[in-house]
Amino acid sequence: MEKLLTTENVRLYYGDKEALHGINLDYDRYGITALIGPSGSGKTTYLRTLNRMHDLTDYVTVNGTFLLNGQDIYAPTMDTADLRKQVGMVFQQPNPFPFSIYDNVAFGLRTAGVKDKSIIDERVETSLKQAAIWDEVKDGLHASALSLSGGQQQRVSIARALATSPEILLLDEPTSALDPVSAHQIENTLIELRDKYTMIIVTHSMSQASRLSDRTAFFMSGDLIEVNDTKQMFMNPEKQETQDYISGRFG
């Protein structure tokens, strides 16, 4: 089966300093891959290469092969706005725009030139339902998204990312700023979406990685140490470093 996304020999430099040392990872269509590892291991740095977030930083150089549906996402002809519609991102801190809930979710569609109100209405409703927050906000869509709780804001951020019908959703520690109840709601949302999207999640929580993901990749010091089926990785890792990290000997 052809991979949805292939990344080969990914190297990233901050100025002259190499921060990622030749990462090889690919992703099937659908399912959740967790990226784990200690702070500074390169997992978020790698995640941000997948929708060219590093383009916004002058002193960063990214090398390697990145193929999404066989297309080079770093090709000069690739429109980064189009890429980010296909590869959505949800950040650690909920980051709704200071607009209404409706306008937050509609933002990407309008940016993409969709003007038909009935299409926007339908996508907003569908995305909020997929993000498991429609029932809580449907009677107040024109209230400010900033009036919501942190967990609700994060689900609106997920809905905003889903509205442009991405193929891939990148999630950078999406529950670490939330209380346990909200974190649990976000996890349930992601589990519901795993058959519809390819999701790549950076997490510091071993229990979250084991609960949510189909596959886990372990990063350390800018290297990919091991990638495997999550159950296999947690029960019987191949590398001693993985064993030490998972069992809490360092981190």
pLDDT in tens, 56-71: 899 999 999 999 999 9
111: pLDDT strictly greater than 80? yes
pLDDT at residue number 53 = 95
What distance in Å separates the CA atoms of residue 35 and residue 201, rounded to the nearest whole number? 6
Q: What is the pTM of this model?
A: 0.95
What would the pLDDT profile of 170-208 be if each residue is shown by its tens digit?
A: 999 999 999 999 999 999 999 999 999 999 999 999 999
- The label of the residue with tokens 């949510």 reads 212
What would the pLDDT profile of 140-172 be if each residue is shown by its tens digit?
A: 999 999 999 999 999 999 999 999 999 999 999
Asked if 161 and 98 touch (Cβ cutoff 8 Å), the reply is no
- The label of the residue with tokens 């498991």 reads 132
What would the pLDDT profile of 83-106 be if each residue is shown by its tens digit?
A: 999 999 999 999 999 999 999 999
Six-digit token pair at 71? 């297309």
249: pLDDT strictly greater than 90? no
3-state SS assignment for residue 27: strand
112: pLDDT strictly greater than 90? no
pLDDT at residue number 248 = 84
250: pLDDT strictly greater than 80? no
Q: What is the mean pLDDT of the chain?
A: 95
| Helix (H) / strand (E) containing 200 | strand 198-202
What would the pLDDT profile of 237-247 be if each residue is shown by its tens digit?
A: 999 999 999 98
What distance in Å separates the CA atoms of residue 18 and residue 28, rounded to the nearest whole number? 28
pLDDT band at 1 (very low <50, low <70, confident <90, very high): low
Other C-beta atoms closer than 10 Å to the C-beta of 220 total 21
* Strand residue runs (E) in 29-180: 31-36, 60-68, 71-72, 87-90, 168-172
Mean pLDDT over 47-62 rounds to 95
Six-digit token pair at 144? 């400010």
